[in-house]
């Protein structure tokens, strides 16, 4: 099968987190609301109702375009895309046909070998969501609360060559829309939807021409497959891998490939046939006559640019170059904007990036994982945390002990400050430690003997015992010195 | 606009797009009728010249970005009003019978 090229394109829909819908002022906060309680003549498609575009929604679409190195149109036009389905009461969706708001962008992602690769974005356009359908036996229930929500569609060029890169690209898009507060992009809630299309073409029989894969002279292209129902980023990769293998098997078994839509089954990890597409879609696009052309000038774009924040790629570079963090740590910390902001705030208080990173990716992340919460839900005073970390750095308190205090503070919701005041700190006083050290020597004659016979690492065991006795509050360096002296004296 | 003569295939396709089942007789009938309909509509092209009035060119009108609607929520229809025209309703949803061949 080496003589085949894998060709993947990705269509991603993002539900914008605006307050109101795309073309009417109905509430866009539809999740878990009673059905059909947030509608109006516009989003129900009643005759005579006129759509009025939501400025914020278009701003967010442009913002995403700016973040993905896209060009921005200066005349925004909408079109009607016609199809007949109960979730679309007007009989058409207001979308954009040949004049998307943003076009010719790209994102940089890493491939499986860690090399940077560009994924090119063909277009980013603004449209509206359809109603929610609940399919039951032989009928369907429709809730129009979701009808008319602002939706951004991002179409990659069909030039993605493997499932891993497709997954990384989808993941980066999710990260960026979250950084820019365009959408929460929760795939389980349908706020982000990925639809890959895949085909296998014999090498040399195709070329890429102006957004499309076209056959070289005298050849016919293999049909492509579109995958729906993808509920997670990892399913983007898995479903594409599965589909490539399935198509390879079909070709090897001399079976005929059929252009079709398949659904991802996340329980079986397979794709399942949904429908074949024998005829090309006929959406009968025409310009939306109810919405005038919207002129976008440079000033408007500059204003939107102000909403751009430092994006994850730039942050990673800065963390590596400026803070000397490893790329791995930088990526882990910048995976979410909130984590990165937490890190930057902590850093401003303790002034040591490595230390701040270690505390964040160590005890704090493990606490977040354990509790399954986000860092914004963490109940901690950053000044207290900084004090704790400084105490560890100054060897006033042991790291283990400090982590214990941190966890106790988080678990029992006791301010860290109180715990710090309570804990007497480290015992560095030799006289105070002497009685503990004597006890350890008495109780562990074998280890003492070993040490005397030259097994120097036996001292670590004895220090450990002393720590136990003092509940971790002994200064380990003083303890070591003291134990060594006492054993010598014996 | 160039005149297009409709054939049976066009009518069949239009029927499918409109979700209407057409009999052979109906298809034959519409092939003839649609040409007449389209040429009637095409007289609109002469509208401005003959009447001196300007056609509604709203879709070529321009507005500025800043004029667009602000993102504020307004109360819409009550559920009762929203569902008033629905032939079938169940638990606050519009109920739709599925087509067997879908």
The strand pairing partners of A93, in sequence order, are A81
> Residues A263-294, buried b or exposed e (16+ Cβ, 10 A)?
bbeeeeeebeeeeeeeeeeebeeebbebbbbb
The pair phi, psi for residue A120, each rounded to 5°, is -85, 140
Which residues in chain A are closer than 8 Å to B97, comparing Cβ atoms?
Answer: 138-139
B52: CB partners within 8 A, 6+ apart:
none
Q: Is the ipTM of this structure higher than 0.85?
A: no
For tokens 């375009």, the residue is: A65
Is pLDDT above 50 for A388? yes
For tokens 């505390």, the residue is: A359
A20/chain B closest Cα distance in angstroms: 5
Other CB atoms within 10 Å distance of the CB of residue A194: 28
A386: CB partners within 8 A, 6+ apart:
A346, A349, A350
pLDDT bucket at B35, cuts 50 / 70 / 90 = confident
Put simply, the answer to whether B82 touches A52 (Cβ < 8 Å) is: no
Q: What is the mean pLDDT of residues A225-230?
A: 94
Percent of chain A with pLDDT over 90: 70
Other CB atoms within 10 Å distance of the CB of residue A489: 7
Give pLDDT tens digits for A229-241.
Answer: 999 999 999 999 9
Q: Given this model, what pLDDT does residue A425 score?
A: 59
Q: What is the mean pLDDT of residues A197-219?
A: 90
| Mean pLDDT for chain B overall | 84
Query: Which domains, and CATH codes, for chain A?
Result: 4-299 (no CATH), 312-422 (no CATH), 430-489 (1.10.10.410)
Q: What is the mean pLDDT of residues A158-175?
A: 96
The angle that helices A382-393 and A337-350 make with each other, rounded to 10 degrees, is 50
* CA separation for the pair A458, A464 (Å, rounded): 10
Q: Are A54 and A22 in contact (CB under 8 A)?
A: yes
Which residues in chain B are closer than 8 Å to A295, comparing Cβ atoms?
Answer: 62-65
Percent of chain B with pLDDT over 70: 86
N- to C-terminal Cα distance for chain B?
A: 37
Other CB atoms within 10 Å distance of the CB of residue B1: 9
Give the predicted TM-score (pTM) of the model. Answer: 0.84
> What's the half-sphere exposure (Cβ side, CA atoms, 13 Å) at A167?
17
Is pLDDT above 90 for A485? no
Q: Given this model, what pLDDT does residue A54 score?
A: 98
Q: Quote the tokens at residue A328.
A: 């791995």
Other CB atoms within 10 Å distance of the CB of residue A342: 21
Question: Nearest CB to B93: which of A20, A76, A134?
Answer: A134
Q: Are A191 and A233 in contact (CB under 8 A)?
A: no
Q: What is the mean pLDDT of residues A161-169?
A: 96
- Point out the least confidently predicted range of A29-33, A295-299, A401-405: A401-405
Q: What is the mean pLDDT of residues A172-197?
A: 96
Percent of chain B with pLDDT over 90: 40
Q: For A281-398, where are the alpha helices, taking DSSP H only?
A: 298-305, 312-321, 327-334, 337-350, 353-359, 365-371, 382-393
Q: Give the nearest chain B residue to A52 (CA atoms).
A: B69
Give pLDDT tens digits for A143-152.
Answer: 999 999 999 9
A185: left (phi over 0), alpha (psi -120 to 50) or beta: left
A403/chain B closest Cα distance in angstroms: 46
Q: Given this model, what pLDDT does residue A80 score?
A: 96
- Point out the least confidently predicted range of A163-172, A368-377, B1-10: B1-10
* CA separation for the pair A418, A228 (Å, rounded): 53
Question: Nearest CB to A37: which of B58, B79, B96?
Answer: B79
**CB-based burial label for A359 (10 Å; 0-12, 13-18, 19+):** buried
Q: What is the mean pLDDT of residues A424-446?
A: 79
Give pLDDT tens digits for A74-124.
Answer: 999 999 999 888 899 999 999 999 899 999 999 999 999 999 999 999 999
Q: Given this model, what pLDDT does residue B57 score?
A: 61
Q: Given this model, what pLDDT does residue A367 score?
A: 94
N- to C-terminal Cα distance for chain A?
A: 77
Put simply, the answer to whether B95 touches A57 (Cβ < 8 Å) is: no
Question: Nearest CB to A142: which of B59, B63, B96?
Answer: B96
| Mean pLDDT for chain A overall | 92
**CB-based burial label for A407 (10 Å; 0-12, 13-18, 19+):** middle
The strand pairing partners of A280, in sequence order, are none
A133/chain B closest Cα distance in angstroms: 9
Q: Quote the tokens at residue A347.
A: 């850093």
């Amino acid at each position: 099968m080496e003589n085949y090229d894998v060709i993947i394109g990705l269509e991603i829909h993002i539900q914008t987190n605006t307050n109101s819908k795309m073309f009417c002022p109905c509430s866009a906060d539809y999740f878990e609301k009673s059905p059909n309680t947030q509608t109006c003549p516009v989003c129900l498609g009643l005759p005579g109702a006129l759509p009025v575009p939501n400025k914020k929604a278009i701003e967010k679409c442009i913002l995403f375009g700016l973040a993905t190195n896209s060009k921005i149109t200066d005349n925004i036009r909408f079109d009607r895309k016609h199809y007949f389905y109960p979730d679309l009461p007007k009989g058409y969706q207001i979308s954009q046909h040949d004049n998307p708001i943003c076009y010719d962008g790209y994102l940089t992602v890493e491939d499986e070998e860690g090399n940077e690769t560009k994924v090119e974005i063909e277009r980013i356009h603004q449209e509206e969501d359809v109603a929610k359908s609940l399919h039951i036996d032989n009928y369907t229930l429709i809730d129009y609360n979701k009808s008319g929500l602002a939706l951004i569609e991002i179409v990659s060029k069909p030039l993605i060559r493997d499932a891993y890169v497709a997954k990384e690209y989808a993941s980066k898009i999710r990260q960026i829309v979250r950084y820019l507060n365009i959408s929460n992009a929760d795939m389980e809630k349908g706020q982000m939807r990925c639809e890959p299309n895949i085909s296998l073409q014999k090498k040399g029989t195709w070329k890429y021409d102006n957004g499309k894969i076209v056959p070289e002279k005298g050849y016919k292209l293999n049909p492509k497959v579109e995958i729906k129902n993808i509920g997670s980023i990892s399913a983007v990769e898995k479903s594409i891998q599965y589909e490539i293998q399935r198509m390879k098997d079909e070709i090897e078994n001399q079976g005929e490939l059929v252009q079709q839509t398949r659904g991802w089954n996340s329980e079986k990890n397979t794709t399942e046939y949904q429908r074949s597409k024998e005829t090309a879609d006929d959406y009968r696009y025409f310009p939306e006559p109810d919405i005038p052309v919207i002129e976008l000038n440079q000033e408007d774009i500059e204003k939107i640019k102000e909403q751009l924040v430092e994006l994850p790629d730039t942050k990673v570079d800065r963390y590596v170059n400026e803070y000397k963090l490893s790329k791995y740590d930088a990526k882990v910390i910048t995976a979410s904007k909130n984590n990165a902001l937490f890190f930057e705030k902590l850093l401003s208080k303790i002034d040591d990036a490595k230390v701040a990173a270690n505390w964040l990716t160590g005890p704090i992340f493990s606490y977040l994982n354990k509790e399954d919460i986000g860092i914004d839900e963490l109940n901690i005073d950053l000044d207290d945390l900084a004090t704790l970390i400084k105490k560890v750095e100054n060897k006033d308190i042991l790291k283990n002990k400090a982590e214990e205090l941190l966890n106790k503070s988080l678990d029992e919701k006791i301010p860290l400050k109180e715990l710090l005041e309570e804990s007497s700190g480290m015992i560095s006083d030799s006289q105070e430690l002497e009685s503990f050290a004597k006890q350890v020597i008495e109780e562990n004659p074998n280890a003492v003997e070993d040490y005397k016979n030259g097994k120097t690492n036996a001292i670590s065991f004895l220090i450990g015992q002393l720590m136990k006795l003092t509940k971790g509050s002994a200064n380990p360096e003083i303890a070591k010195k003291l134990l060594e002296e006492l054993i010598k004296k014996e | 606009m160039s005149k297009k003569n409709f054939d049976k295939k066009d009518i069949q396709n239009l029927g499918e797009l409109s979700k209407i089942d057409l009999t052979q007789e109906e298809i034959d009938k519409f092939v003839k009728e649609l040409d007449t309909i389209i040429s009637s509509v095409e007289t609109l092209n002469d509208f401005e010249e003959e009447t001196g009035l300007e056609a509604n060119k709203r879709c070529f009108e321009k507005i500025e970005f800043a004029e667009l609607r602000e993102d504020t929520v307004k109360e819409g229809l009550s559920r009762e009003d929203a569902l008033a025209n629905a032939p079938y309703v169940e638990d606050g949803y519009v109920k739709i019978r599925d087509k067997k061949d879908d």
